[in-house]
Structure formats: structure tokens, C-alpha cells
Amino acid sequence: MSDASKPKGDGVPSANGLAKITLQTELSAMDMAVLPPVEPNIIRTTTQEKATISLDDCLACSGCVTSAETVLISQQSCKEMLDVLAAHTYKYVVVTLSPQSRASLAVHFDMPVIVVHRKLVTLFRTLGVNLVIDSTCSGDFALLESRAEFLRRYCDQQKTIWARPPSSVAVSSRKTEYLEPSTAANPLQDPLRAMPMLASSCPGWICYAEKSQPNAIPFIDTTKSPQQIAGSIVKRFLSGERGIAPDEVYHVAVMPCFDKKLEASRKDFQDPEHATREVDCVLATTEIIELVESLNIDFAGVKPANLTPEEIMLSGVSEDGSSVLGSSLNASSGGQLEHIFRFAAKKLFNVEVSGPLEYVAGRNPDFREVSLVVEGKEVLKFAVAYGFRNIQSIMTKIRRNRCPYHYVEIMACPSGCLNGGGQIRPKSTLLATELLDNVTSRFQELQVREPTANPAVKYLYEKYLGGTRIRKALRQFHFLCGLKAPYKMKVDVQERVPKYLQVKPYECEFYVPRAALEELQLLGKTMKEAYELAKSFKVAESYDQLEKEEDKPVDVSKAIQIIIGDTNDRKFVVCTQEVELRKALRLVPGVPLMYLNRSVLVFEEISHATLAIVRQEEKTNRAKLDVNEKRKLKQMQAGESEEGQAEKQRLLKKRAKGPNPLSVKKPTNKKVRSKQKKN
């Protein structure tokens, strides 16, 4: 392969372990059956064509010895950003700063973090950027979503086999194609119940898991990273607030890691409708220094900006703009472990964990453990694993079914994100450890604020996301009940639900019972607007049961119950304000319920009737397991995996025979003397 590569757009990203690399060679146009025999030529190139790959094919191994890596990451660079700003291609430009990058820049310029933040706002405004925020808000979103997922996994956990999930490729953020024939769900491989739960915010670790450890995918948290959550906020919320399309917004993220460029390029995070990415360009911390130097800017002389109310709300900055805010002083890599540990201790065991967590150090500084003991029993055990050496150790423990942890905060970089590959490197007079200590000190120049106290998080959840659990609840109904988009929304006459749902046409199909239309028509002018709206919905009815009562008016609630039936075979989501109707439908398995509490949309938790049916189906599936799967289940219940048994056998075979040659004890000759006596 020649030492030249160019980015190409038709590469297919890997969602669960597969990636497609397109190699364009002169052999592709030839018939392989008539190729003449040639001697192998390992060193020299066999073609003049250049190999073409995309960012999606990168393994994030940092092992490139060619110019390929430089060419690939040039797609996201300061030059690209400056060209976009100069061309005025987009109507709105947003820059998101990571707290880790901000701390590194504060050390480099020897300034307080808040001063660096406000100077960067001035710098980007001068270049033509409309809005500068940080990723604290999106980080708070990630913490709230991750803790909710951990709580559900912990309460409904089961032992999960170490097996590769079905291979798939992400087409977009809303579509995934499975490359293997669909099979029945394996009750031993439920991605919503697998423990331990592994952090998902590090793109280097995720890339490694998909390409090298696909069996670990069911254990990984399904929450997006703060960078991509920020992308969703910018492209969906901010664009909607300003009445412009997502593809008219250009989003730049400043991050401590080059792997974030690969994350932003994944098709998992692309909007197919508007042909845009959630994050258009990622700049590493070092590239900000290059930007300042290339523009001959005296950063010390830049005047700190006065932040707008919107910039303050969407950033981790105090209202007076005098300090930065964060979830924890020790959240240098996002703070997932500390936040989830404290939340789970309080929620599950009513234990308030105050003060610093008491970690137990492992064999190296990048591995630490923390436990919660209640009434003499260890009920929670979390671990921090930074660097690939510790990641491989965690993978081995999970594979052998000997992992004692409930949650593991995994980062590919040693010492975490403050020591990311895109951070500013130490000068010759400063050791790397000293620089890291200085960056950590700058990062801790913050006031602690709980994620739930973030006003932006509250506002977005209540107005646009329908509460903290709606997306997780929809995903749960998808896996357990086969509910999937487009969602069939069954609404009654009490409220005009679409106005509050804020959904797009392709995301939901709205249905109304014929009885509701008739009732609205009878009400006349007082409900004319509601009647006109209801007529735009599809009509859902069950003719075989309604025909028997065609001469009698049918109550709307009763009509909905008849349409839903005993099993909700048509997969409806019911939106109703009728309390009695909701009580009745909770007894029907597989019926998601939504209602309005004042102006807040509530998505109910999955009902006990649904959980009972699901668990019964799991028991049935267990009975249908083949011999090998039953054996694996038996081994897991006994606390030992198949790999663990194989390891035991391997060690037994390698055990040394005879006396230890290094022993100082002289061997005895009892057998020899006994033979002499017989003679």
C-alpha cells in the first residue's frame, strides 16, 4: 500500500464492530480467474492506485507511520473553520469549549480559567462566531441520563454471556442496518440488563471496544458523550429557537482529544433529513494555540468579553460571570463515577455520601476502587480504569465472569481527559507530571453545582425532552415490547397532544378513535378547533367489536380500551388525561402511557403487567436454549465461565513436573536405600 491516503465519503462506520474499507486498485476491474501467477512481493507496492479510507475506518491506535493520519484529520482543522467563517456559508456558528481544554489553556497562558473563557469568547466573536458556550450543560445531561440507566440496570441486572452482539452498521443517527439475519432475542445477552456498566464518553475506548472487544458492547452505557449531546442541543434546540434549519448551523467543538474528531465523523451522529453532523468540526487544545499564533494575536492583551444571558445559561458560568461551575472538583474526566456512586447510594440504600470518596489504589495510579458497605455487606463497588493496560484487565475479568464491579469509568488516556492527546504538551523545563498537576489545579477552580440545579437542563427537559425518562422509557418499550418509530400515538379529546410533543411528522403517526370525532362534532362550535385538528389524525377503530353497539353511542375511553385489546398488538402509545383509563390500561401488557401534568409531558414507567409478561417470556426462552447455552448458563450461575475453566486446564497442563530445580533442599534417596535392603 502506498504511503498516501485521502479521505473518502463512502466509508461505512462501525456501530457494533464492523467497518468497510474501500480499496480502489487496478485489480478490481480484472477477472480474478484469469490473473497470471506472480511471485509474492511483500515489500514493494503491487499497484499505482492510492488506497482510500475514511475517518470511520480509523482504529485510534496512534500507530500511523505514514502521512495518512495527517491527511485524515485535516478534514477538521483551524483552516477549515476559518474558511467557513470567511465564506459566510452558514447562518449561525457556535463554538463549544470543553472544561479540560480550558484548563490546559489557562496553564499555558498563566491565567484563571474564567478569564481564559471570556477571552476565548472575545477571540471567536472577532472571527465571526455567533455563540460561545462550554460543554458543562451537556455534561450534566450525560450524568443524569447515565445515572438513570445505571439505576435501572442495577435493579434489573442479570448475568450476561460474553458474546459478540449481531453485527451492524450505523446509517445515520436514526437508522442502523444489521449485517446478520435477525434471530430470536437471547435472554443471556440483554444489553439493558448487563452488568457491570461501562462508561461511554471516551471515543478511543469505544473505538477499541467495537473493533477489538465487540463482546463488551452490551455492557457499555448507551448515553452519548457530552460532545455529541452538545451537538444535539446546538443543531436541534438552538436552530429551532432561531427558526433556521440544522444544516444552516455550523458547530465547532474544542476538545482535549484528537479521537473526538473521529467521534464527530461517525454516521451514528449524522442527521439524514438535513444531511448534517451534530458536530461539524473538532479542534484539539493545541490547535487553539496554533490559531492564536497564526493570527499573531497577543492573547494577554485580548479583552475579556461580557457574556450574554444565553451564553451564561448554556455554559458552566456563574450568573455574574466571575467563576466557572461544575458537578465536582474531581470530575476531570466527566465525573461519571462519583456522581453515579453518590446518586445510587442515596437512591438505593438511603446513604448520603458526603466528602471525598475513599478510593483504594490498585497496582498503578490509573486504577482505583471505591465501595459502599451497608450493614457489613458490600452493596456497591465501582472502579476507575484509565489507559489500555487497565482496560484490558477489566475485559479479562468480565470475560472470565470474575468482575466484581457494578460500574467502571473507562478512559483510553492515562490520567484521563486532562492528559488527553490533544492537550498542550509540557515545555522542556517542565515535567509532564508537573504540568498535569498544574492543569488539575486550574480545572478545580470551580464552584460545585449539582446537575439537577442547572437551569438549562431543567428548561430543556421540561420543554423539549418531555422529562428525564422519556427517551429511556421509549427505548425500553422498543426492546421489551417491539415498539418502534414511527410511534402510533392514540390521543383522546382532552388535550391537543401534538402541540406539546413538539414532534416531526416522520417521528409519530397520530390516531384518534372514531368515537372521539363524533363526540367533538356533537359539542359544536365550542370544540371546533379541536375537531379540525382531530380530523387531521388517522382514525383507529375495531370494527368487529364496535358493530355490535353501532346503535348506541360509545364512550371514548371504552373505545380506546376496545382498540387496544388484551395485548396491544397494533403497538399504540396512548396519550390520555383520563385517570381511570390509565388505570385500566396499566393492566394491559405493552401499553406506553403519556399524559400532561399541567404543562409538563409525563411518560410513565413500564407497568408491572408488562414486566410480568416479559419475565415469563424469558423463562420460556430459557427452556428453549440448546445444550451449549444451557451449559453456559449453568457455569455462570456457578460463578465460573467457560473461559475460566479453559484457563484452569491450561495452567494444570503447564505445571512443572518433578522437584523444583531452584530448591536448595537436597533430594532424598529413600527409594534407592529400600532397594539396597532387599538385595
In a shared domain, residues 422 and 565? no
Number of domains into which the chain is organized: 3
In a shared domain, residues 308 and 338? no
In a shared domain, residues 394 and 309? no
In a shared domain, residues 522 and 385? no
Of 664, 113, 205, which Cα lies nearest the Cα of 392?
205
In a shared domain, residues 117 and 252? yes
For residue 169, give the C-alpha cell. Answer: 452498521
Q: Is residue 62 part of a domain?
A: no
In a shared domain, residues 210 and 290? no
In a shared domain, residues 316 and 351? no
- Bridge-partner residues for 360, per DSSP? 369
Q: Is residue 30 part of a domain?
A: no
For residue 286, give the C-alpha cell. Answer: 493545541
For residue 118, give the C-alpha cell. Answer: 471570556
Of 478, 490, 398, 427, which Cα lies nearest the Cα of 161?
398
pLDDT in the model for residue 594? 82
Q: Is the dihedral of CA 619, 623, 628, 634 positive or negative?
A: positive
Amino acid at 43: I
Give ∠ CA 518-520-525 in degrees, rounded to 5.
130
Coil, helix or strand for 30?
Answer: coil
pLDDT in the model for residue 120? 97
In a shared domain, residues 284 and 381? no
CATH number of the CATH domain containing 380: 3.40.950.10
Domain end marker among 262, 291, 324: 324
pLDDT tens per residue, range 419-451: 999 999 887 666 888 999 999 999 999 999 999
d(CA 454, CA 444): 18
In a shared domain, residues 83 and 128? yes
Give Cβ neighbours of residue 198 (< 8 Å, ≥ 6 apart): 216, 219, 220, 221, 394, 407, 408, 410
Range of the domain at 372: 153-162+189-222+330-427+439-449
Q: Is residue 53 part of a domain?
A: no
Q: Is residue 507 part of a domain?
A: yes
pLDDT in the model for residue 667? 55
- Bridge-partner residues for 447, per DSSP? 325
Q: Is 1 exposed, middle or buried (0-12, 13-18, 19+ CB in 10 A)?
A: middle
Q: Is residue 598 part of a domain?
A: yes
Q: Is 224 exposed, middle or buried (0-12, 13-18, 19+ CB in 10 A)?
A: buried
Domain end marker among 261, 290, 324: 324
d(CA 203, CA 94): 22
Q: Is the dihedral of CA 258, 339, 444, 300 positive or negative?
A: positive
Domain end marker among 290, 324, 358: 324
Q: Is residue 633 part of a domain?
A: no
Give the predicted TM-score (pTM) of the model.
0.63
In a shared domain, residues 497 and 595? yes
pLDDT in the model for residue 68? 44
pLDDT in the model for residue 540? 79
Q: Is residue 167 part of a domain?
A: no
d(CA 158, CA 163): 15
Q: Is residue 403 part of a domain?
A: yes
d(CA 538, CA 374): 54
CA dihedral 240, 244, 247, 250 (to 10 degrees): -90
- Low-confidence stretches of the chain (pLDDT < 70) are 1-74, 158-161, 164, 166-192, 428-430, 464-508, 542-554, 597-601, 618, 621-630, 632-679
In a shared domain, residues 212 and 336? yes
CATH number of the CATH domain containing 587: 3.40.50.1010
In a shared domain, residues 290 and 209? no
CATH number of the CATH domain containing 266: 3.40.50.1780
Q: What is the DSSP letter of 220?
A: B
